[in-house]
Amino acid sequence: MGSGEEGDRKAYKEFMEKVKRTVFIDYLSPMVTVPILKTAIGQFGNVLGVHLIPNWLEQGEVPQCALVEMESETQARCVVSEMSALPFMISGMPRPYQLEEEEKLAEQQQEVLKQNYEKHEIIEGIVQDGSLARLAERYKMKISDYQSVV
């Protein structure tokens, strides 16, 4: 039993070493391939392997992720540091990145949220100042009939 447990510890130690030198990259364009990623990340060190992780939850052109194994933990840290600071280049061109699209979407969502909040404020104001009750009385409507719907 002792040798089996020792083998498990050795395998776990090797796995943890591999984890330390592996970089997770997300929001990659669906057009990115293993050779493209090896070329891009190869600028920062020796790439031992690349595993693309497809997005199975959505259809169409959706971002994908990748695990990139580097030769050393130092090289992996360098990749993370460089990618955090600047988009890296592939043969003089920026890597495919969807940050601009995400920023536009975030701005649109923020605008819609702001508009919905303003509508809510208007409706609440009409209820609070009694305008709703006066309109309901004028048009001979019962407000209680509509409060359960809202």
DSSP symbol at 95: P
Domains of the chain in start order, with CATH, are: 2-97 (3.30.70.330), 102-147 (no CATH)
59-80 burial: b if 16+ Cβ within 10 Å, else e: eeeebbebebbbeeeebbbbbe
Residues 6+ apart with CB under 8 A from 26: 63, 65
64 forms beta bridges with 28
Rg, Å, the chain Cα set: 28
- What does the pLDDT look like over 74-120, one tens digit per residue? 999 988 888 776 655 544 445 545 566 667 777 888 888 899 889 98
Return the SS3 of 96: coil
- What does the pLDDT look like over 9-32, one tens digit per residue? 999 999 999 999 999 988 787 788
Return the SS3 of 61: coil
29 neighbors 98 (Cβ within 8 angstroms) = yes
Confidence at 69, pLDDT banded by 50, 70, 90: very high
- What does the pLDDT look like over 27-53, one tens digit per residue? 787 788 899 889 888 888 899 999 998
